[in-house]
Amino acid sequence: MFEGWKKRHQNKTSFILHMIGIPMTILAIIPLIIAIAKGPDAWYLAALALFVVGYSLQFIGHAVEGNDAGETILVKKLLGKPYIAIVDKKKSEDGSSIRS
């Protein structure tokens, strides 16, 4: 599983954005639990902000990488649409990227 993830996140910028974004989306659970337990609206906003910013960083990473995010791939598969899972960093003879 991790090997497949590494193939989809070869670009350094994309990898860094994911290393920041993934923990942010996971950490969003903490203020959400506090908000449910105590109820202040500020905790809901903190949870929402962490989640949205973290997820956005990951989608930006996929845009930089040139491939579709996992969620996008799932939806495209269900709709029978083409998708880009992995961008091969090898170059073709004419210098353009080969996509797989």
In the chain, the number of structural domains is: 1
Q: Are 30 and 71 in contact (CB under 8 A)?
A: no
Largest CA distance in the chain: 61
Among the listed residues 80, 89, 84, 28, the one whose alpha carbon sits nearest the alpha carbon of residue 53:
28
Looking at residue 38, its pLDDT comes to: 85
Per-state percent for the chain, helix, strand, coil, to nearest 5: 70, 10, 25
| Other beta carbons within 10 Å of 65 | 22
Per-residue pLDDT of the chain (100 residues; tens, 9 = 90+): 678 888 888 899 999 999 999 999 999 999 999 888 988 888 899 999 999 999 999 999 999 999 999 889 999 999 999 989 888 765 434 444 444 4
* HSE (side-chain half, CA atoms, 13 Å) at 19: 9
* CA 90 to mean position of chain CA atoms: 23
Q: Are 53 and 64 in contact (CB under 8 A)?
A: no
Domain holding 10, by residue range, is 2-99
